[in-house]
Amino acid sequence: MWFKNLQIYRIPAPWPMTPERLDELLRPHAFAPGSSLELQTQGWAPPLENGSLLAHGVDGQLLVTLRTEKKLLPATVVNQVAKAKAQEIEEQQGYKPGRKQMKEIKENVKETLLPRAFSILRDTRAWIDTRNGWLCIDASSSARCDEMLQLLNRAIDKFPLANLHVQTSPAAAMTDWLAGGEAPANFTIDQDTELRSSGEGRATVRYVRQSVEAEDVRRHIEAGKQCTRLAMTWADRVSFVLTESLAVKRIAPLDVLKENADTLAQNDAERFDADFALMSGELGKLIADVVEALGGEKHD
């Protein structure tokens, strides 16, 4: 249930959206398996396994799932079959196919192979905090975020979404924390760190499962490097990595949260709701503390 990543965006708070209303808006764009000739299809799927609603809600927190079906048709396979086909045509017509004809051959090969290609399903989830005004996507890449946001904008007319801006850049703040050897209130610094130069070469130094000595930090800063990724722990409850783009990655609830998880759930649906409530409550507080540690929100 727990998100592994947070790409964080702003929406108005409170946002008057219910699970039922959001389900209505997403329903025209529900996921349906693609045809044999479609390379990729996307649409909304129920967040709860065997559920019916496309938007799941618990106490003002909404969860949606974007499902992507993609056919696996490697370019090497297409090129190999197309090459063999081109040789056959060359033998028939007495000369090699030209560029235009070769393009047509590849397109025909794709159409022939596509119905036999394997399909993979990928789910990308978004959590919407309607009370505090957060929209968070569980994605490690900007491309997946763009896919999610495009379909949300298509489903919700005039979707009130904005980027999150803070007073202090994460890179500058993380560099200061490392240089001073002290994390902001409610945080501790862990052992994974990345420092990168902004120069043309963009020289990068990574420390994996190894603390960075203060002298090393000063030397890297003097060489023009800034901290671009920093592993941290929040409130002894959640470990994560903060990046220069204000993304939160490699999220992991610690034992104290696992022990406090609701064990009274009677079925999978109740357990899902309990996990979602716990995750949204903890991560909502973490986001607020990260924003505060970065000097607070900056409004245009």
Per-residue pLDDT, 44: 97
**pLDDT at residue 166, as a whole number:** 97
Which residues partner with 119 through β-bridges? 71
pLDDT tens-place string over residues 37-71: 777 899 999 999 888 899 999 999 999 999 998 88
108 pLDDT above the threshold of 70: yes
pLDDT higher for 190 or 261? 190
Q: What is the mean pLDDT of residues 238-265?
A: 84
pLDDT at 261 over 80: no
> How far is it, in rounded angstroms, from Cα 153 to Cα 151?
5
Residue 177: its pLDDT value, please?
93
Task: Convert the pLDDT of each residue in 114-145 to its tens digit.
Answer: 777 777 889 999 999 999 999 999 999 899 99
Residues 158-165: contacts with CB within 8 Å, 24+ apart? Answer: 160/11, 160/12, 160/15, 161/9, 161/10, 161/11, 161/135, 162/9, 162/10, 162/11, 163/9, 163/10, 164/8, 164/9, 164/10, 164/246, 164/291, 164/297, 165/297, 165/298, 165/299, 165/300
Mean pLDDT of the chain: 89
E strand or H helix that includes residue 273: helix 268-293
Helix (H) and strand (E) counts for the chain? 8, 12
User: How many percent of the chain have pLDDT more than 90?
Assistant: 56
Q: Is the pLDDT score of 260 beyond 90?
A: no
In 87-169, DSSP assigns E strands to 118-129, 134-137, 162-163
pLDDT band at 238 (very low <50, low <70, confident <90, very high): very high
**297 closest CA partner among 129, 134, 158:** 134
Backbone Cα Rg of the chain:
24
pLDDT tens string 213-236: 878 888 888 888 999 999 999 999
pLDDT digits (tens, 9 = 90+) for 278-291: 999 999 999 999 99
Record the tokens describing residue 36, joined without a space.
Answer: 């044999």
Q: In this model, does residue 262 exceed pLDDT 60? A: no
What per-residue confidence (pLDDT) applies to 71? 81
Worst-scoring range by mean pLDDT, 87-96, 107-116, 143-152?
A: 107-116
Give the rounded percent of residues in the chain with a pLDDT score beyond 70: 96
pLDDT tens-digit series, residues 146-164: 999 999 999 999 899 999 9
Rounded average pLDDT over 188-210: 86
| For residue 106, pLDDT beyond 80 | yes
